[in-house]
Amino acid sequence: MDFSDKRRQQFLGERQYLNALESFEEVVYGADGLVDNLRKDDDPPGWHKNLAHGIASERFDLLLMHYTGGDPIEPMRAELEQVVHAYEQYAPYLWKYLDDRNEPVFKFYSLDEYCQLMQLIGLCFLLHRRDLLPRLAALQDGLDAVGRVGEGTGGTDTLFEEFMAFGMGADVRYESDSIMAARPYEALFHALTETSMAASLRELDTFLRRWYKDLAGCGWHDAHKPDPKNGSQAGYYGYWSFEAGAAVILLGIDDDTSLHKYLYYPKDLVAWCRANAALGAPADEHSPRLRCLAGQPCPRTGYWFTPAAAGSRRHFDAGHTMPDLASSDGASGWATVWQWDEQQ
| Domain identity same for 200 and 320 | no
Domain count for the chain:
2
Are residues 321 and 262 part of one domain?
no
Do 271 and 210 fall into the same domain?
yes
In this prediction, what percent of the chain has a pLDDT beyond 70? Answer: 88
- Between 286 and 178, the more confident residue is 178
Cross-strand bridge partners of residue 316: 302
Q: pLDDT category, 301, cuts 50, 70, 90? A: confident
pTM for this entry: 0.81
Nearest to 79 by CA among 144, 21, 138, 40: 21
CA distances from 93 to 47, 214, 287, 321 (A): 9, 32, 28, 21
Q: Which residue has the higher pLDDT, 6 or 286?
A: 6
Please say whether the beta carbons of 126 and 132 come within 8 A.
Answer: no
Residue 163 belongs to what domain range?
3-287
* pLDDT tens per residue across span 46-73: 999 999 999 999 999 999 999 999 999 9
Q: Are residues 26 and 119 in the same domain?
A: yes
270 and 343 in a single domain? The answer is no
Q: What is the pLDDT of residues 4-14, one digit of tens each?
A: 999 999 999 99
Query: For 173-215, what is each residue's pLDDT tens digit?
Result: 888 889 999 999 999 999 999 988 999 999 999 999 999 999 9
**Could you tell me if 38 and 185 lie in one domain?**
yes
Domain end among 253, 268, 287: 287
Cα atoms in the 13 Å half-sphere on the side-chain side of 175: 0
For residues 236 and 314, state if they share a domain: no
**Residue 296 in this model has a pLDDT that exceeds 90:** no
pLDDT band for position 287 (50/70/90)? Answer: very low
Q: Work out the mean pLDDT of the chain and round it to a whole number.
A: 87
Q: Which segment, 112-116, 191-195, 274-278, 279-283, is predicted with the most confidence on average?
A: 112-116
What pLDDT sits at residue 233?
67
Do 293 and 234 share a structural domain? no
Position 283 scores a pLDDT of 44
Is residue 277 domain-shared with residue 205, that is, in the same domain? Answer: yes
Band of the pLDDT at 145, cuts 50, 70, 90? very low
Residue 172 sits in the same domain as residue 296: no
- Mean pLDDT over 90-108 rounds to 92
pLDDT top residue among 1 and 83:
83
Q: Write the single-letter amino acid at 268.
A: D
Residues 264 and 276 in one domain: yes
Spatial contact of 300 and 276, defined as CB atoms under 8 Å apart: no
The confidence score (pLDDT) of residue 284 equals: 45
> Do 53 and 184 reside in the same domain of the chain?
yes
Q: Which residue has the higher pLDDT, 335 or 29?
A: 29
> What is the arithmetic mean of pLDDT over 236-240?
95
